[in-house]
Amino acid sequence: MLDGKTIPFEEGETIMEAAAAAGVYIPHLCHHPEFKPHGSCKLCTVSIGGRLGAACTNQAAEGVKVESETAALNADRLALTQMLFVEGNHVCPSCEKSGNCQLQAVAYHLGMLTPHFTHFYPARDVDASHPDVLLERNRCILCELCVRASRDVDGKNIFGIGGRGIKARLIVNSASGRLADTNLSVRDRAAEVCPTGAIILKRHGFTVPIGRRLYDHHDIAEVPVAGLKEPMRD
């Protein structure tokens, strides 16, 4: 039972998977259907029989009452999204990802009007060394999708998370610490999986003008994964 609707599931499926299959959107950022669940952004937190847990890492079970679209949960999701905004440096108007960015789209979906919390303004490195890929750590939300894609799909282990706590940061697999000194290819899954503008392909700026991009016209609930060919319902 999800928000009062009975939803079918297969044995071993997570709540997120069962919901997605039934066309029900649960806000998320670190989850991606092609990759092993991670459970770090916590946006998909739902009430599972009264106990809170991440929909992406908890298995669906028969007869369990799951609540997702409640005012209280969405208020908490909004706060988490605002936390992600203030811990990094996100300047949407000057970001090439604007309109295709899932962080921005989730913020729109949840009705975020201000960052609410005091900005951290962290000093984060930009790495433009790679010929084809820009690494803009100011926009990284530590979802580890690139880490998983590079390790599990590309078989390269190019990305990792270094440091601890609020000082956690995206690191790359080279002694110099530069992306150019890794074997990242523009064709790698890791190069295109980033939900924000932290890993972005060079020389593609404004190919699609702002105003005609995915989330300029669709709520993220309709297209939860950028890159899927068809909106789930229209």
Partner 1 sequence: MSDHDVCDLPGIVARWHHDPANLVQILRDVQESCGTIPSDTLDQLAKLLNVPRVRIEATASFYSFFHAESHGAYEILFSDNVIDQMAGKAELKQYLCERLWLEPRKLSEDGLVYVDDTADIGLADQAPAMLVNGFAVPALDKARLDLVAELIRVRKPLAEWPPMLFEIPDNIRQPGPLTGEAFAPGAALKATLSRGTDATLAEIDSANLRGRGGAGFKTATKWASCRKAEGEAHYVVCNADEGEPGTFKDRVLLNSHADLVFEGMTVCARVIGARQGLLYLRGEYRNLLEKLESVLATRREKGLLGRNILGYVDADGDFDFDIEIHLGAGAYICGEESALIESLEGKPGKPRNRPPFPDRCGYRNQPTVVNNVETFACAAKIAERGGAWFAAMGTPQSAGSKLISVSGDCQRPGIYEYSFGVTVRQILIDCGAEDAHAVQVSGPSGTCISFREFDRRIAFEDLATAGAFMVFSRERDMFEVARNFTHFFAHESCGFCTPCRVGTSLLRNTMDKLAAGKGSAYDMNEMKNIMHILRGMAHCGLGHTAANPVVQTMEKFPEAYERRLKRLDFEPAFDLDGALQTARLITGRDDEWAHLADE
> Is residue 7 close enough to count as binding partner 1 by CB under 8 A?
no
DSSP conformation class of 119: P
Report the C-alpha gap between 93 and 99 in whole angstroms. Answer: 10
* Per-residue mark of binding to partner 1, 58-77 (x: CB under 8 A): ------------------x-
Identify residues 89-148 at the interface with partner 1 (CB under 8 A).
Answer: 117-118, 120, 141-142
Residue 230 CB, shortest distance to partner 1, in Å, is 30
Dihedral over alpha carbons 74, 78, 79, 81 (to 10 degrees): 130
Query: Are 68 and 54 spatial neighbours (Cβ–Cβ below 8 Å)?
Result: no
For the purposes of burial, counting CB atoms within 10 Å of the CB of 169, is it exposed (0-12), middle (13-18) or buried (19 or more)?
Answer: middle
H or E stretch covering 17: helix 15-21
Site membership for partner 1, residue 40 (CB under 8 A): yes
Is residue 80 within the footprint of partner 1 (CB under 8 A)? yes
Which residue from 11, 93, 164, 234 is in contact with partner 1, where contact means CB under 8 A? Answer: 164
Would you call 16 helix, strand, or coil by DSSP?
A: helix
Per CB under 8 A, 1 contacts partner 1: no
Q: Which of 159, 193, 200, 224 binds partner 1 (CB under 8 A)?
A: 159
Q: Which residues bind partner 1 (CB under 8 A)?
A: 37, 39-43, 45, 52, 54, 57, 76, 79-80, 83-84, 86-87, 117-118, 120, 141-142, 157-168, 171-175
